Amino acid sequence: MLYHSIRDRLLVLRGASLGLGAAFVLVLAPTTALAQNEPPDPEFRTSYGEMTFPEQFPDGTAISLTQWSHFVPRYDEWFQEYAQQWGEAHNVEVTVNMINLADLTSTLSASIAAEEGATVFEMVAPPTAFIDGLQSLADVNQAAAEAFGERSGTCERSSYLPATDTWYGFCHGWVPDPGDYRRSLWDDAGFPEGPVTYQDLLEGGAKIFEDNGLPVAVGMSPEIDSEFYARALIWSYGGSIQDEDGNVTFDSPEVLEAVRFQKELFENAMTPEVFSWNAASNNQTFIGGRASYIQNSISFYRSAQESAPEIAADTGFRPGLQGPGGEVKMPSHVWFIDVIPSYVTDPDELAAAKKFMLDLENNYASASYYSKFYNFPAFPSRSEQLFAEDGWLSDDPWGAEPPDKLGLLRTAEEWTAWLGYPGYANPAISEVYESHLLSSMMADVARGEKTPEEAIADTNAEIEEIFAKWRDRGMIGSGGD
């Protein structure tokens, strides 16, 4: 039977199974550990909401996880240990395959086509085009909501498709994408708090470029960071690709203003190098001391702490930049979306995989901590130490100077959007993202290949076509019609 034992008690396992007395002590650990500087020991429960699981799975139960090699290596070390610990505690053989981020989609695609492969894939962007080949994880999402409470908006909208009422994934975490600036340069330029608005970015960035030759380093290349920057700019200017119901809204005055701004920014504060960047380029440029501003997650900062401490010390963070209307929206930089392909049919394997997902979320304080606060939990209640007023982000245990340098990330949920903002992610939104339409549009305008009006009209036509294609397949819409 799939979930054959119904138990309400909590069990805490560390290494091998422990007794109930020890479990009682460890269940209290999260509360007591709040005052300390490290996450509590892992806690493996036997029920989440209405889902219940056995303490031990039958002999021979095995799951395999395929996920990306994390940008913060310490996380991968922790995850491997955690996975083995979880496996030993549950009599499950756990295999973790860590692959290059760029290979995730092709690997999942090949596995679905071959009807063979890993039990769980951890995708970094909503895998909406794969929905037909994935299992519904409605039960896991419902159980998590019941057990953990409020879910972050960026995670919900990146794992649920309203058009088909499908929970195609379980998003266990996400990554904030702040603005990152060189404090000394911006201080000299007259912006001691760094750029607050996009207008500041233009004025201050141009002055720094003129005085020091150091450009604003936001990409306009076919890669994810450039796509995220384009979205942040458009959203903060009030534009969007679609509305909440999946109608295309791209050809708008707000988008036009955003594109015009980007052309002006390029002409005054940037160099052509941004047209050929890959996802690591802006990090490297910033760490190399050759950029005044980038938009990126904090993994570059953790690298800089070790390889370029003077740059790390001179780094400041902004919660995005305000558009003309004062609105600030930044994308999530990465989502951690677990999916289970349809070819996984063994009941014990399925149950073990689902329990692994829920247990990981339950212990997300450790995931956040060992990713050096790159990972944010889908359910904020699972990492209270991260958000607490005197918590990790306010007093960084990984050596940030000053210790509250990352403190602004406590409000990240407020200014973080998602790929389909203001609607849900869907296959059309994913195709627009994967085809690099927005970064290419920005590049065409900045290089003078097209006027902003032409570029938007052309891009809008392609977006409309993509939406029409997926709408015909029933994948677009709010689901209410």
Where does this chain bind other proteins (CB under 8 A)? 105-106, 108-109, 112-113, 128-134, 213, 220-223, 271-278, 281, 285, 288, 290, 427, 430-431, 434-436, 439-441, 443-444, 447, 449, 458, 462, 465, 469, 473
Cα–Cα distance for residue pair 409/373, rounded to 1 Å? 9
Rounded to the nearest whole angstrom, what is the least distance from the CB of residue 276 to other proteins in the complex? 3
Question: Which one, of 299, 325, 328, lies nearest residue 312 by Cα?
Answer: 299
Rounded to the nearest whole angstrom, what is the least distance from the CB of residue 272 to other proteins in the complex? 4
CB 349 within 8 A of CB 61: yes
Enumerate residues 6+ apart whose C-beta is below 8 A from 441: 230, 259, 455, 456, 458, 459
Q: Which helix (H) or strand (E) holds 170?
A: strand 170-175
Rounded to the nearest whole angstrom, what is the least distance from the CB of residue 108 to other proteins in the complex? 7
**Between 28 and 113, CB nearer to other proteins:** 113
Beta bridge partners of 182: 315
CB 431 within 8 A of CB 466: yes
Mark 235-263 as b/e (b = at least 16 C-beta within 10 Å).
bbbbbbbbeebbebbbbbebbbbbbebbb
**Between 21 and 213, CB nearer to other proteins:** 213
Kindly give the residue spans of alpha helices, DSSP state H, lying in 319-370: 347-362, 364-370
3-class SS of residue 157: coil
**Between 14 and 290, CB nearer to other proteins:** 290
Enumerate residues 6+ apart whose C-beta is below 8 A from 251: 456, 457, 460
Question: Which one, of 90, 105, 102, 93, lies nearest residue 44 by Cα?
Answer: 90
Rounded to the nearest whole angstrom, what is the least distance from the CB of residue 297 to other proteins in the complex? 20
**Between 367 and 438, CB nearer to other proteins:** 438
**Between 100 and 345, CB nearer to other proteins:** 100
**Between 245 and 434, CB nearer to other proteins:** 434
Cα–Cα distance for residue pair 160/152, rounded to 1 Å? 13
Phi and psi at 129, nearest 5°, equal -70, -15
**Between 232 and 279, CB nearer to other proteins:** 279
Rounded to the nearest whole angstrom, what is the least distance from the CB of residue 213 to other proteins in the complex? 8
Rounded to the nearest whole angstrom, what is the least distance from the CB of residue 237 to other proteins in the complex? 21
Question: Which one, of 179, 292, 268, lies nearest residue 225 by Cα?
Answer: 179
Rounded to the nearest whole angstrom, what is the least distance from the CB of residue 74 to other proteins in the complex? 25
**Between 128 and 383, CB nearer to other proteins:** 128
**Between 54 and 133, CB nearer to other proteins:** 133
Cα–Cα distance for residue pair 336/317, rounded to 1 Å? 23
Rounded to the nearest whole angstrom, what is the least distance from the CB of residue 290 to other proteins in the complex? 6
Angle ∠(185,235,181) on CA atoms, nearest 5: 15
**Between 224 and 298, CB nearer to other proteins:** 224
Rounded to the nearest whole angstrom, what is the least distance from the CB of residue 429 to other proteins in the complex? 11
DSSP state of 72: S
CB 147 within 8 A of CB 365: no
**Between 26 and 429, CB nearer to other proteins:** 429
**Between 384 and 462, CB nearer to other proteins:** 462
Rounded to the nearest whole angstrom, what is the least distance from the CB of residue 64 to other proteins in the complex? 20
Angle ∠(291,293,294) on CA atoms, nearest 5: 100
Rounded to the nearest whole angstrom, what is the least distance from the CB of residue 427 to other proteins in the complex? 6
Phi and psi at 290, nearest 5°, equal -110, 25
Q: Which helix (H) or strand (E) holds 108?
A: helix 104-114
Rounded to the nearest whole angstrom, what is the least distance from the CB of residue 339 to other proteins in the complex? 10
